Structure 1
Amino acid sequence: MRTLLLLFVLLLAAPVSAQPRPAPDVAGGRDHPLVGRYEGSSLRHYRPRDFDEFRMVNRPVHGRDTRETGSRINDRNSIPVSGRAWRLRYEGPEGRSPLEVMRNHQEKLAANGFETLFACRAQECGDRSDLWFAVVEGVPGPSPSLAAGWENQLYTLAKLTRPEGDVHVAILAVVQGQRTQVLVDVVESRPMQGGRITFVDASAMQQAVERTGRVALYGIQFGFDSAEILPASRPTLEEVAKFLRANPALNVIVAGHTDGQGAFDYNVQLSTRRAQSVVAALTREWGIAAGRLTPFGAGMAAPIASNDNDAGRQQNRRVEIVKR
């Protein structure tokens, strides 16, 4: 009798112990405090930006609008937003429907003072996959790898009005197998901080290197999440070349630095590629001997300001010329 009772208890316990654990969050990711996550979900994509601008869908998306305007997301079905932005993708626990997950998100937003601007479900969202593509591809940058579950998709756009700047939140929920995936875009509206690029000429580089052994450059700019040097960087690169020609015996380290956001290893790789791009440009276009230049990626390891605010993060994103 005791054996049968023990077997019965084990059988009852087996489904519980066999429940799969959620996947770990992506390195460096964290929830937005105004949105949160559905209980048991894991964060699989995380991309913050200090400033971005794009459009958020506020009406059904139809193919005819695309044909007439030449763009899937346009003035007829979306509003422009700009400011500090986040894109997050969550994978929910098994057995939870998109409707349940979305209603929990809507409840959380309402509790935080958000007003719903637009909400839709499946066919209400427009022509088949048009809203899915408008939302997923409407934000520039790496793909969030959201499942193409537009047959049962749900979408919500909400707005929080506050003195320090409005906050817009767009949430798209779809099904993949037994799990709900949720894509969240958050934009905290604020003006872009202009006039942040300081031009350093060859003379100032000379003085800084003589005084401290290094000089920080903010005039070398790159594409977002890229090692491509932007054309606006040319004046600063010309001054670096001028400084190096005036000091032919000087060898330097070209060090790339990032802010403290994102994964550590990824930032090291990105800063290394950026340093290599600067070395390649100085060698190819300005004739500086490659042997004099050593590229190095410091990533987020050597901040010169706090990474807890925008002003500090901007100071930390830089290229440095360091005397060897």
Structure 2
Amino acid sequence: MVRQTSAASPRAAAVGSVLSPRMKKEGYDPAWGAMVNGMSSPAGMLLPPSNTFIVYSLVSGTSIGALFMAGVGPGLVWTIICLLMVALYARKHPELKSSDKRPTLKQAFTIFLKAIPALLMIFIVIGGILLGWFTATESAVIAVLYSLVLGLIQRTLPVKELPKIVLEAAKVTGIIMLLIGMSGILGWVLAYARVPQLVTEGLLGFSSNPTVILLIIMIILLIAGTVMDPTPAILIFTPIFLPVVTQLGVDPIHFGAMMVYNMCLGNVSPPIGNNLFVAARVANVRIEALIGRLWPFFWALCLGLLVVTFIEPLSIWLPTTLGLMK
């Protein structure tokens, strides 16, 4: 049976496999380096293109283009918090100095030229969606075809591996489609049983203060995110909580950004924290060593959740400015 992994885990594996040996060579604590990798990689779930936002769009019926742009602000909040925490660590450990070796201007330019074909995919996908050339679903097909052609041209994708890759993609897609199908059934059952209405009445009966209601919802989602992958959590909780927040006047796009940020936190929260396990395995350290070092990062990112939740322009300013939402 194939277990679905969060979108952040492959990033932790890819970045960690490159940076962990270098950080160890530079004298950094391997466990601390793995923790930084694990805590920072979920930012990719917020910054476009994000498959987590695509799932939320399917459930909520909101614009995927607007959601992509709404994730930029929260994604930068996550990134800035991680940068500040690393900077604080560096100030407390002045003995850590980066290598004096620097690439020459010619080497840097050569590396940049080699990276252009891969970087173009981001602009093709996001630009195509924003310009209305294709939908989010169609953009995924274009991204796959572009990656396939580029991998074959650059010979980074062995032809003999294609059947295995296609089979693995089919398994993961089957799991996601099954979850989406079941979420449709679950949504119908919830609507028939008036669960969203009952939850709305219960929460509003507890308090009429939007701040209190949003805090309760964020706490519930954070607890759920510690034991669930982002996709099933979004599929299950969006139909329940979206009617509540819309009645409070919260924009569905803003709520999507809040929810995905929350799922990012759940992805690095003990006791499960899939991303932490991946980062620890790549760095060849024990998971216990990461947990002992992550709490300052975690609480700082929790503060970021409050910022994203209660400062609405962080999410809706960019999509509104680009004309993707009113």
Which TM-score bucket, shorter chain as reference?
under 0.3
Q: Report the structure number with the largest CA radius of gyration.
A: 1
Q: Higher strand share goes to which structure?
A: 1
Q: Higher helix share goes to which structure?
A: 2
Work out which structure has the larger RCO, using CA pairs closer than 8 Å and 6 or more positions apart in sequence: 2
What is the TM-score with the length of structure 1 in the denominator?
Answer: 0.25
What is the TM-score with the length of structure 2 in the denominator?
Answer: 0.24
